[in-house]
Amino acid sequence: MAWQRKTPFGYLIQDGLLQPHPQEADTVRYIFGQYLAGASLLAIAESMTQQGIRYHQHTAEWNKNMVKRILENAKYTGAEGCPRLVSDEDFAAAQHQRTVRNTYAPLATEIRPIQSKAVCARCSGRMARGTRSHGRVHWKCQNEGCGQSVSLSDETLAGLVDRRLRELAQAPHLLTAPGSQRAEVDMEAIRLRNELTMALNRGADSPEYIKTLVLTAAAQRYSRLPDPTPAHDLEQLRVRLEQGPANADTLAALLTTAVRTVRLTPEKTVELELVNGEIITDTKEESA
């Protein structure tokens, strides 16, 4: 069973009465002061751990939830007969800060197709959108070995992607399908065919084994045939762009069909990696 405190952090029972704990009471005031000064829950938790102040007797480690519980506990204002440790003003200001910092910025419609393709330009890891920094949008690489973070508002990101797409629309010759992998597929087909031939020549293999080889060879040959749909869609886009300027629908189709990933760089710029491996990147300095 997990150990539970008999009194809230910051207090102790002395002579049958609830009293401020000599060290913990100062820690409560310190936590409120640090939070109101702008420190994050995680930074405060790490500071508590480094100082060796224990929230629980069984562990010296602090986490964000422990700090959060202290900031939310109205008893520190003298409620429910507890000795006052923080002023009403500081407690109210901390609650306001929590509301402001947790403000969620809703996902803009134009960002949805970008979100599914957003990757880190440094390591190609998936970039996740977050809004926990005072409601500001940031994108963080989910690759543990990277962790790159890029602050870009939805409006700025949409504008950068739109600019890259318009550059792509001016170069329709780049709309080609990925290179064929038939050489690799044919080698596997040849191997299976040779194995089937040797099995037939031996004459000692079971009919079930021969049947399995036949079916495997057939599946290898026909299931890997290239899908003509992507190439067809790219050709249709290329023809459309050659016939006239790109409109909003055409740009949306480019993002969906021709773009494999939207690469976010540490410099807050955007690169488009096409399905054929081509990279559409900025050719001049851009300010996010």
CATH of residue 61's domain is: 3.90.1750.20
Rounded to 5 degrees, φ, ψ at 31 are -65, -45
| C-alpha to C-alpha distance for 24 and 136, rounded to whole angstroms | 34
Amino acid 207: pLDDT:
81
Gyration radius (Cα) of the chain, Å: 31
The yes-or-no verdict on residue 283 having pLDDT over 60 is: no
Residues 94-148 have pLDDT tens digits of 998 887 776 656 677 889 999 999 999 999 999 998 876 555 788 999 988 898 8
Domain that holds residue 201: 182-222
In a domain, 6, yes or no: no
**Average pLDDT of span 246-264:** 93
Statement to judge: residues 83 and 217 lie in one domain: no
Amino acid 222: pLDDT:
63
Statement to judge: residues 94 and 65 lie in one domain: yes
Residues contacting residue 193 through CB under 8 Å, at least 6 positions apart:
217
**Percentage of residues in the chain with pLDDT exceeding 90?**
49
231 vs 282, higher pLDDT: 231
Amino acid 197: pLDDT:
83
Statement to judge: residues 154 and 217 lie in one domain: no
In a domain, 18, yes or no: yes
The yes-or-no verdict on residue 185 having pLDDT over 80 is: no
Amino acid 66: pLDDT:
94
**Percentage of residues in the chain with pLDDT exceeding 70?**
86
Statement to judge: residues 115 and 154 lie in one domain: yes
Amino acid 221: pLDDT:
66
In a domain, 3, yes or no: no
**Average pLDDT of span 29-58:** 90
Global pTM reads 0.51
Please state the domain count of the chain: 3
